[in-house]
Structure 1
Amino acid sequence: MTDQGARFSHMSDIRVLDLFAGPGGLDVAAHFLGYKSIGIELDSNACETRYAAGLPTIHADVTAMRETRFDEIPRSVDILTGGPPCQSFSVAGKGAGRRALDTVKKFMSRLVDGEDEAQIDKELRDLDDPRTALVLEPLRWIIKALETDGRDPYEVVVLEQVPQVMPLWELYAELLRGGEGRLSGVKYETETWKLKTEEFGVPQTRTRAVFAARRVERGPIGRIERTHSAFDVTRRKRRASQPEPVLSDFAVPRSPTNWVSMAEALESAGQLPDSPVDTSRLQTGEDLKFFVVSNYGSGGISTNRGERQSSEPAFTVTGKVSRNRIYKSREDYDAGRWDRFTLPESGVLQTFPHNFPWSGKDQAQQIGNAVPPLLGMHVLSAALHGCAPAPEQLAAANTWPAVSQSTSEELRRLGCGDRSQCPPKTHKVIHPEQGSAP
């Protein structure tokens, strides 16, 4: 197939544009809901995972794509998704974004009111953390589509971020409902949710702020139905007077609507054909029993390491997930004998398919930065169809379809080409005598 033929094949029938796409959390969700997507991603390592997974990708900066390469986005795209980088807003960071919330709100209103964008860009560069400005990009892409000849407004918009961004999502909702200024001529039904991932079957505790919008002509957005119970993250404080857990405490009372545990998720993944997940090293007899000690502090004390039992959801899966320590027993803990989650296991805890082809470097960071696809399926389905994903869609999401090497190579050529338009310094430079760069 010629490059032109490959481009037509891979770029046809695309409905979803994923900004800040990462390795593909929202793309995976869209795939299992029956939608073809294309992602824009800055990190070349995440691009390698996407190419290996068969996900159309443009290796580029989201801002540069909007400013100079917007015409490369297929005109069939009518769904905009994205999870802007969260480092400046996250409680794990230095908080520049959190301190600038009110300032960012003013920038949003100024953009909609039609103030000079060159001046706005100049002021954005003066923010303490330039990444804070990226939370404005989805709004700027919405405006760009409205003001570009031959483009239709996005039918549906779905965004996610850390909970601290909720005030900005609420302003997004107000602006898109109003349909004024540069948004004139289009109005959206909107919803904002603060969602706990374990309430949707994700085997980890993680809270996300989610924004959803769709054209008023399509009717209101459906309710998002939680499928599982919340996990009590403060349970140990209430049990402070009880002795340290022993192996017999691994049995936690279950109910059909309870959260999904680490053991359940990993055991299920390990039983699938040709699964790279093998947890036999963590078994005690025939049972998968262990506890995890977090790499992060707990209760606001940096040296206080929290613990989770295998019968409980995992801690939030971050880019440091491989640093968490796994112990089979209290005796192993006392003796300093510990294990780590493998990359496929970490991906499963993030609800990626068990055989998802993680590639490139910094794979743990890729996994930790991603949107849990299972959460993405519930949010996208509510925004697109007003209902929860169908049982058969959820069942299919355990396994990723095989992708040929030739397809991955075609996607790499489409995404990176001769690298002249890729972000500077994002590809490792290798001298010709050493072979080609990845």
Structure 2
Amino acid sequence: MTSTPPHQSILDKPFVLDLFAGPGGLDVAGHRLGVPSLGIEWDKSACLTRYAAGLDTLHADVSAVRRESFESLPPEINVLAGGPPCQTYSVAGKGTGRKALEEVKKFIDRLMAGDSDEEIDKELQNLSDPRTALVLEPLRYAIQATRSPNRGHRPYDVIVLEQVPAVRALWDRYAEVLQEIGLPDGTTYKVVVDVLATETYGVPQTRSRAVLIARREGLGAPSLPEATHRAYEAREWNRRNGGVAAPTNQPTLYDAEVPEPGEGPAEDDGLEHWTSMGDALAEPVGTHPGRRTPFLIRSNYGSSGIPGRRGVRTDRQPATTVTGRISRFVVFESVGDRHPDVVREGPRFSMNEAGMLQSFPPDYPWSGKAQAQQVGNAVPPLFGAHLLSAALGLPAPTPVTMRKPWVPATEEQRAKLRSHGCGTADDCTARCPRPE
């Protein structure tokens, strides 16, 4: 087995195919690392954001591309990445995917055994929620690559996947079959799987993700990205500062002394303090004017309709998991210097700020409809950059990498990207997926 020296990419020219690409989390990560990518995205509004950001995109259904136009994909793609839709696996969803985990594992075994796509597609239609089957698409793309004449039947060199923690069981099964059984052509991989906390990589929010990194046999064993920041421990925080009560008619910001960054145990662990909302939003950058501190937020979920049960955090803490409800979070700020502990409701997070809490660069050009949902569904770019760096043997990124304001595409560039992604420079065409 060969080993890769630190900070030397295992691939001469990495090129990423990003499945279920969303508004561009992994693609932004690749851009900051100097790694080109092509994203496949079904949602029209997410594609509009991608075009505005200057990201190469196919407005298409991932499954349809695999079945009908795989041979049109650039043959030089050598990295497969993606985060299949998580609604049916998420603890916030109805759980149909979790109930189907064992059934999906059986489909994984059948795919590796070389069963026909037509037969498998027919049986997948019996799943109670068709989105559950989308978690199989990365594996089906990996297999299809070995059958592609356009690629010379060449397998992908690297695979990087992420999902909600509930999908860990499927990634473990992916790892087993990729290492022990191999693709139908005999290609095997070295694989690592784990659940990682995004705040330990500098993302200013607490968000857990099940990740898989695989390298084709002969390219060296992959490793998980090393944490750069300390984990946020809610119990420790509440123990040290007495907790933060949910705002009432006259809330106060800090009911007890809050530890400053760097205080507390594990000061000599070599890790940076986790990034707070204030760290991400307080200072002006690009067109972001800076968010007044101190402030606290009250989330819009987990409350069962009872305001007192809603999650509350201050600007000195990371955000709770950013979801499509981020635009509903209520923000409270101090009245002023004379009464710093008395707060009033302030302006809610802008899409620019919501994106920055996901570690998107300032001034990222959110476009189309349901922008908050786009933000919440995205892979945090800083976290994605750590995953890609670990997978490819590149230097780990820093939060400063993502702080540089994003320069949107020109109208001419958008038209060119849309012509490639949709078929015309100013609209969707018959080849684009329809919402229904």
Do the aligned partners of 2:359 and 2:402 also contact (CA within 8 Å) in 1? no
Partner Cα distance (1:36, 1:239) in 2: 45
Code of the aligned partner of 1:81: A
Any idea what the Cα deviations from partners look like across 1:12-69, whole Å, max 9, x if unmatched? x881100000000000111111111010000000000100111010000000000001
Deviation at 1:253, TM superposition (A): 2.4
2:412 to 406, 416, 422: 406
In terms of mean alpha carbon deviation, does 394-403 or 23-32 score higher? 394-403
More helix by share: 1
Partner Cα distance (1:235, 1:298) in 2: 22
Deviation at 1:336, TM superposition (A): 6.5
Could you tell me the percent identity over the aligned residues?
Answer: 47
SS in 1 for 2:218: helix
2:352 to 338, 344, 352: 344
Partner Cα distance (2:42, 2:139) in 1: 19
Code of the aligned partner of 1:304: R
Match of 1:80 in 2: 80
2:272 to 257, 265, 270: 257
In terms of mean alpha carbon deviation, does 310-319 or 414-423 score higher? 414-423
* Structure 1 residues 35-434: aligned runs within 5 Å: 35-151=35-151, 152-180=154-182, 182-235=183-236, 238=239, 244=245, 246-247=253-254, 249=256, 251-255=258-262, 257-268=272-283, 270=284, 272=285, 275-279=286-290, 282-283=291-292, 288-297=293-302, 304-329=309-334, 337-385=345-393, 388-390=395-397, 394-395=400-401, 398-418=404-424, 419-425=429-435
Code of the aligned partner of 1:337: E
Partner Cα distance (2:186, 2:32) in 1: 33
Task: Give TM-score, length-normalised by structure 2.
Answer: 0.86
Any idea what the Cα deviations from partners look like across 1:305-325, whole Å, max 9, x if unmatched? 011010110111101100000
Partner Cα distance (2:351, 2:325) in 1: 11
Match of 1:431 in 2: none
SS in 2 for 1:209: strand
Distance 1:177 1:48, change over 3 A: same
In terms of mean alpha carbon deviation, does 237-246 or 185-194 score higher? 237-246
Partner Cα distance (1:236, 1:116) in 2: 53
SS in 2 for 1:210: strand
Deviation at 1:404, TM superposition (A): 1.4
Any idea what the Cα deviations from partners look like across 1:390-411, whole Å, max 9, x if unmatched? 55x9536533234211001110
Task: Give TM-score, length-normalised by structure 1.
Answer: 0.85
Do the aligned partners of 1:224 and 1:378 also contact (CA within 8 Å) in 2? yes
Partner Cα distance (1:239, 1:260) in 2: 18
Structure 1 alignment gaps of length 5 or more: 1-12, 427-438
SS in 2 for 1:159: strand
**RMSD over equivalenced CA pairs, Å:** 2.6
Any idea what the Cα deviations from partners look like across 1:359-395, whole Å, max 9, x if unmatched? 111111111000000000111100111x54255x953
Q: Give aligned pairs, total.
A: 401
Do the aligned partners of 1:352 and 1:398 also contact (CA within 8 Å) in 2? no
Distance 1:300 1:250, change over 3 A: farther
SS in 2 for 1:328: strand
Partner Cα distance (1:369, 1:377) in 2: 17
Distance 1:399 1:226, change over 3 A: same
Any idea what the Cα deviations from partners look like across 1:218-257, whole Å, max 9, x if unmatched? 1111342100111112347657977846446474321172
Structure 2 alignment gaps of length 5 or more: 1-12, 246-251, 263-270
In terms of mean alpha carbon deviation, does 237-246 or 123-132 score higher? 237-246
Distance 1:222 1:239, change over 3 A: closer
Partner Cα distance (1:401, 1:84) in 2: 28
Partner Cα distance (1:193, 1:329) in 2: 40
Partner Cα distance (1:242, 1:264) in 2: 20
SS in 1 for 2:310: strand
SS in 2 for 1:413: helix
Partner Cα distance (2:69, 2:18) in 1: 15
